[in-house]
Structure 1
């Protein structure tokens, strides 16, 4: 395609975007259609064209009364009965005007004999109304469809803004919850005067950079999200007993995959929050992430004390509720989230179909 073709196409599109041009085009097409239709029957295109041109005023009156007054003031405000009555009234009045117009044009412009419109009969009146209705129907349909399309766009925009607002709120809930737990870990190390405290500060700095800056986008690479999870696990290990068994495994093809930032973190965080550290039994956390054919499978399991309310508390925590709500908004019908507890361990399983 040459640059002239592109320029010409752009000019046509610009013209079609102009309201006055679309209206002018409609009336030109209407006059041209009826000229060809009636002209071929009467074999007199010039006379028919002149007649259609002079018959235009009552048609213009009917169409723009309907589009500019009746449709917005009555139909779109759901006053349908009044709209119907007034539309019929407009058709009758404009039909009568059209009959007188035809009489004047035929007698004084075309110099032909025609019966006076005073002697109206039902056929002539109905014919005039049908003539008016013919030019009314297309603009009316276009107006209604255009109105419906704009309402649909407005509803979709409002729904999108609502979802974005809710997602921002859910995401904002993660940050203070996340930093509160991490600062608690740092505080305990400082109290013990641990030599690991400076390293923790550096790791915390990395985590904060990711949370505050890198995660302020709709999606991040799965590799970056997994690196963040690994850093978080390394930080959490510092507060657990020396004999704690922590396993974190990633398998499958994680390249070229994208995910919403901080989506998986609350599940990992939940394991460390509720793992048993006060009892004599050994604590353990097993986390595995596998990605195959764009499906992510996360299995996070941790040991826990045999307390009836602990499992329920873990299942209904703020973090997991947050994750489930974000999944509903971001991945409708594309995820499975299950949580199981036997009183000694807690298992969370997430299947997620990535983009």
Structure 2
């Protein structure tokens, strides 16, 4: 049995890509996209006809709506291949505007409906800022499922749970990157691998808290740098994995051991915590890694959105 097949015994495997031609080989349940992944996909020659088809018929529309139509078309094509859900991201430049995020999310859902998609199969991705979490709270109340992304801190996870969001995506690899950079020459890769990886430890802590208190929000580890991080989170609700790492798992024979266990978490001794807005902002500010990585992630997604706009404007 391959490691990929073994992993699927414990965890729902999600493909982290906008390149839907890659999906068939790995048979993931769900798929996630973001502006960076869509940007990569639209620049591939095999997608030129699809891009031309979408954008050639939308020249009279505003740029942001043309962007959304292109993103939704990719999501719709992905849903023709996978059995589960696709995550589609709201423009990162709206990360600090609750009302604008709500408006954009509802338009994305309307565009999916126009494509004939059952919108129960769509998760709207929103950055886990305070404003984004409040937008997600409202969207969930309106029957629109959300995926809170760029999540690095425990306070973000708790605030998402309190907002009753459908799913959160803690970023394992980017947490690892920060601690490795901070340590510099003192970083010991072997000592900080597997269950000792700081990104893995962050997700494991969130998993234990959520399962202990019976929180229904799904946890999907994301942003992996190596297979070891993935295997150290076997048992997590979902893991979204890049095609390169999916390929490594698919061609490696071997057993996978469950690392995260909901029953064990129920037996842990944990205190319940809660955050209002001021407490959330202070807790996030107190976490240098999370503050820096959240800001960096929003900037990077925003920059790729601008690059995608430049491509759209050519049509």
Higher relative contact order, chain-length normalized (CA < 8 Å, sep 6+): 2
Per the shorter chain, which TM-score range? under 0.3
Structure number with the higher helix fraction is 1
TM-score (norm 1): 0.19
* Higher-Rg member (1/2): 1
